[in-house]
Amino acid sequence: MEEKARERRRIFIQNEKARFEKFAKERAERQTTTAQTTTTTTASTTTSTATTTTTPAPTTTTSQNGKK
């Protein structure tokens, strides 16, 4: 019984160690990818647009009796 428990602990520790090493490797890859991304330069362009607005002419209305 004790031998089985010891074997389970050994396997657990082995799996945890492998998981930790995988995590550390992925983290290192992410950090190098981030470093490469931040060192790249991008060109920026600025465009300006002019907007013109026109106001319609006022309209006159006449009442039914002919006066404005």
Measured CA to CA, the distance from residue 18 to residue 9 in angstroms comes to: 14
Give the SS3 label for residue 16: helix
Give the pTM: 0.43
pLDDT at residue 59 tops 80 = no
- 37 with 29: CB under 8 angstroms? no
**Tens digits of residue pLDDT in 13-47:** 999 999 999 999 999 998 887 666 555 556 666 66
